[in-house]
Structure 1
Amino acid sequence: MRWDVDWLYQSDTWPGLKTIVLIESKRTVRGRTSIERRAYISSPKAPAKRMLWLARHHWHVENKLHWVLDVTCGEEQARVAKKNGAENLSLL
Structure 2
Amino acid sequence: MGTQKKIAEKIIEKNGDYVLSLKGNQTKFHDEVKEYFEDAIENDFKDTEYRTKITLEKGHERIEKREYFQTSDIEWFEEKHLWKKLTSIGMVRRTVIIKEKTTVENCYYISSLDMPKDGECELFAKAVRKHWGVESCHWVLDVVFKEDDSRVRKNNGAQNQSMLKKMAMNILKTEKVTKKKISLRRKRFKAAMNIEFLEEIIEGM
Report if TM-score (shorter chain) is over 0.5.
Answer: yes
Deviations along 1:41-60, whole A, 9 cap, x unmatched? 00011441221110110221
State the partner residue of 1:54: 127
Deviations along 1:27-80, whole A, 9 cap, x unmatched? 112312221111100001144122111011022134336656877xx427xxxx
- Asked whether 1:38 is paired with 2:107, we answer yes
Q: 2:136 aligns with which of 38, 45, 63?
A: 63
Q: Which amino acid aligns with 1:75?
A: K
Aligned to 1:37, what secondary structure does the other structure show?
Answer: strand
Q: Structure 1 stretches of 5 or more lacking a match?
A: 77-85
Q: Is the 8 A contact 2:97 2:103 kept in 1?
A: yes
Scaled by the length of structure 2, the TM-score of the pair is 0.33
Write the mapping of 1:70-89 to structure 2, written as runs, cut at 5 A.
Answer: 74-75=145-146, 89=149
Aligned to 1:54, what secondary structure does the other structure show?
Answer: helix
Q: Which runs of 4+ in 1 moved over 4 A?
A: 65-71
Scaled by the length of structure 1, the TM-score of the pair is 0.65
Q: Percent identity?
A: 25
* 1:32–1:63 Cα change, 3 Å: closer
Aligned to 1:8, what secondary structure does the other structure show?
Answer: coil
Q: Structure 2 stretches of 5 or more lacking a match?
A: 1-69, 153-205
Structure of greater Rg: 2
Measure, in 2, the Cα distance between the counterparts of 1:66 and 1:25. 18
Write the mapping of 1:10-25 to structure 2, written as runs, cut at 5 A.
Answer: 10-25=79-94
Aligned to 1:16, what secondary structure does the other structure show?
Answer: coil
State the partner residue of 2:168: none
Q: What root-mean-square deviation, in Å, do the aligned CA atoms of Structure 1 and Structure 2 show?
A: 2.7
Measure, in 2, the Cα distance between the counterparts of 1:68 and 1:32. 27
- Asked whether 1:2 is paired with 2:71, we answer yes
Answer 1 or 2: which has greater helix percent: 2
Q: Which amino acid aligns with 1:44?
A: L
